Structures are given as C-alpha cells and as structure tokens.
Amino acid sequence: MKFFFVINGKKVKQYMVVVFAAFFAASLAFVGQQQLSVFSSKDGPRAIYKGEDQGNKVSLTFDISWGDKRVTPILDVLKDKGVKNCTFFISAAWAERHPEIVERIVKDGHEVASLGYQYKSYTDWEDKQIKRDILLAQEKIKKVSGKMTSLIRPPNGNFDERVLNISEDLNHTVVHWSIDTKDWKNPGVDRIVTTATDKTKAGDIILLHASDSVKQTHKALPTIIDKLRDDGFKFVSVSEMIANTEANSKEVN
C-alpha cells in the first residue's frame, strides 16, 4: 500500500515533501492553480488524483469488479437525474461476464476505463504480469464496449513507481481520487452523502463503487447529485476533466 501526504499548494510557491512507505518511496508533485494535481515518482510518470480548480467541474467515478445487482439501480438513478459523463472503472473479467451492462454504460453516455483484468494488486506482481494484465484488460474491454481504454485505476488503488512507469509505457494514465466516499463500508446513506459533497471543490475526482458490496450507494446518489448541482458543479468524465490541463501540468520541486 502506498501512502501520500498532500499539501495545499495555492498558498505557497515552492515546497518539497518526502514520503516514506513500507517498501516504496516517492515524491508528491502538486501543481498550481488551473493545472492538474498528481502523484509522481521523481522525474517520472504521474498518477492524477485531481483536475483543475476552475470551471466548477467534478467527476463521479464508479469502480466495479463483481456482481450485477447494484450497478443497474445506479445507472437508473444517473439516467433519471440526467447525468452523463461519469467514468466507470471496470474489471475486464467482470465486463466479459456482463457485456449487456457494459453496453448500457456506454449507451447511457458514460466513459469506460480499466480496473485491470484480474483485479489483483499490481504492487504484488512482477513487471511482466502487470503488462499482461493491462493489455488483456484493454483488449477485452474494447471487445465488449467498442472503446479503447486509456485510463486505468490499479486494483485497490495500489500503485508504486513500477506501476506508473509500466502504465505510461502502455499509454495508460493512472487515475486515483481526491474524495473517497468509502461507500463500500456501507456507513449509512447520510454519511456517504456528506463525504461526497461537504468539502467538494472544483476538480475533485469522487470515488464511488458499483459492485454488489455497496448497498447504500444508489440510495445516496440522488441526494449527492442534487447537492452538487445546487452548489453549481457540472459533472464531467475524467477524460474531459484532464483534457485541457494534462499537457500543461508540471512538477513543483
């Protein structure tokens, strides 16, 4: 598991922070206003966890790796609320088992991205295993959805410098999140709503889930959508969030 310490970069011009984890060390790069916020290895590739803080845009993202009972109610809520452009990070093995759901995700106007194929932690694997899993996932998701993935969220959100390098070599951008609702713990509808909306800012990437383990997410989602809209936020896919800023992002040393 990789841990990061995040420092608000708006009020300082330069800073450096050293991050220690059990087996891996990396530096955190935080880019300034109107640019992306990223995790980065020194002089290496990055993992995006937040978009630009202009334009009142937020991204709702959903991870799904097993089951078919919770995702349909979630898709129904999004459709009823007129929300498109969410990003669904899907396990390719799950996509193979549920092609009709993947087809609906795309038909409803949402973005599909990769959770890998087997949904096992990449940090426990050798390089060749990671490469094989990313490429197999891309192939299988394209076969089912007709879409070529370019975004990946490593299983369980675990990544290190190797994973960043391999993903970049395979033309995949690693996407983390800035708000974790922890909805998989089923902490209660009100808690999920509060976590998703209370401190949300422009550029936030919000993590939700659509696997069968989540029993309250579809109940919390209507209120989440209403509250964020009332606060003036617009829902965009992760790709749209980073499209105009990725090339301009840079590390602050």
For 63-117, write each residue's pLDDT tens digit.
999 999 999 999 999 999 999 999 999 999 999 999 999 999 999 999 999 999 9
Confirm whether 142 is domain-assigned. yes
Confidence check: pLDDT of 183 > 90: yes
| Distance separating alpha carbons of residues 190 and 213, to the nearest angstrom | 18
Whether 14 shows a pLDDT value over 80: the answer reads: no
| Structural domain includes residue 189 | yes
Q: What are phi and psi of 208, to 5 degrees?
A: -130, 175
Which CATH number characterizes residue 205's domain? 3.20.20.370
Within a domain: 35? no
Give tens-digit pLDDT for 204-228. 999 999 999 999 999 999 999 999 9
CB atoms within 10 A of CB 250: 13
Query: Is-contact 114 172, C-beta < 8 A?
Result: yes
Number of domains in the chain: 1
pLDDT of residue 43: 58
Whether residue 33 is contained in a domain is answered as: no
- Is residue 22 included in any domain, yes or no? no
Residues 188-202 have pLDDT tens digits of: 999 999 999 999 999
Q: Does any domain span residue 111?
A: yes
**Range of 208's domain?**
46-248
68 domain residue, yes or no: yes
Is residue 1 situated within a structural domain? no
Annotated catalytic residues are: 63, 209
pTM for this predicted structure:
0.82
